[in-house]
Amino acid sequence: MSSSAARHLDRCRDLERLLGALPDLLVAFSGGVDSSVLLHAAVRVLGTRAAALIGDSPSLPRRELREAEEFAARLGVRLERLETRELELEGYVANDGQRCYFCRHTLFRSMETWARAHAFTTLAYGEITDDLLEPRPGRRAAAELAVRAPLREAGFSKDDVRRYARAHELAMAEKPAAACLSSRVPLGTPVTRARLARIEAAEEALRTLGFAILRVRDHGENARVEVAAGELARARALEPELRARLASLGFTSLELAAYARAGTTSSAASTSSR
């Protein structure tokens, strides 16, 4: 066994011990690989003492919601769907760099209320060690409301999460990292229900083209379409088709770029056309 495999097994055992010491667990579930792994592990260890809550709002794509509900159903875990209404918060709508704090705070408050009403005592979300390398305002909300991060506490990295998902044949084992639709709105541009709906419609319109990673960022009349660096050449070849599909949504210009996670920069050049 390689040293990395041995370390992964140690972290899995640590996670099981950590979960086993809890009286119960309510997981903030999004359908992404991190929260899916946490929920799967919690159900394995805690059984019916584990449950999940998904915060439903216009920033959650309907496709992601359906996939999350299907995963929870296959797992046989209780899943509560609660409307979080973060668009009613001025700090969230302002999108001034603290949007994620207001989003998480609203979600965790909703979880706290549900937990008290249903005799759950422990809240958790899917933070991992890699997340500590990025500025994440939502972490402050978790600290304020005593929300646990069992994966991070057990030392789980992104590699550990993927290894666990593959070992247990979870459907999202190879699912690309996803973020809420509000993350496609440029900093300083107000987040609105209409803008989120347009972003979701734009990504759905392009999804059938088969890009492994796809983000459509709303810059007013300009759509910045980001794909994996290795797929940028194909996106450029399909540019007339991309532009045609986005035109009906009010985008009059198109910029193509390689996707880069927050905190990284892309070396691939972008193109713009009208």
d(C-alpha 76, C-alpha 47), whole Å: 9
83 forms beta bridges with 56
pLDDT at res. 177: 82
pTM of the model: 0.92
Judge whether 129 and 152 are in contact, CB under 8 Å.
yes
Q: Does domain 192-273 have CATH number 2.60.40?
A: no
Query: How many residues does this entry show for the chain?
Result: 274
Query: In Å, what is the CA distance from 256 to each residue of 118, 186, 211, 216, 272?
Result: 48, 16, 13, 10, 7
pLDDT at res. 185: 97
pLDDT at res. 178: 82
pLDDT at res. 179: 87
Tens-digit pLDDT string for the chain (274 aa): 789 999 999 999 999 999 999 999 999 999 999 999 999 999 999 999 999 999 999 999 999 999 999 999 999 999 999 999 999 999 999 999 999 999 999 999 999 999 999 999 999 999 999 999 988 899 999 999 999 999 999 999 999 999 999 999 999 999 888 889 999 999 999 999 999 999 999 999 999 999 999 999 999 999 999 999 999 999 999 999 999 999 999 999 999 999 987 544 443 445 544 4
Domain ranges of the chain: 3-167, 192-273
266 forms beta bridges with none
Which of 198, 231, 237 is CA-nearest to residue 213?
Answer: 231
State which fold the 3-167 domain adopts: Rossmann fold (3.40.50)
d(C-alpha 164, C-alpha 168), whole Å: 6
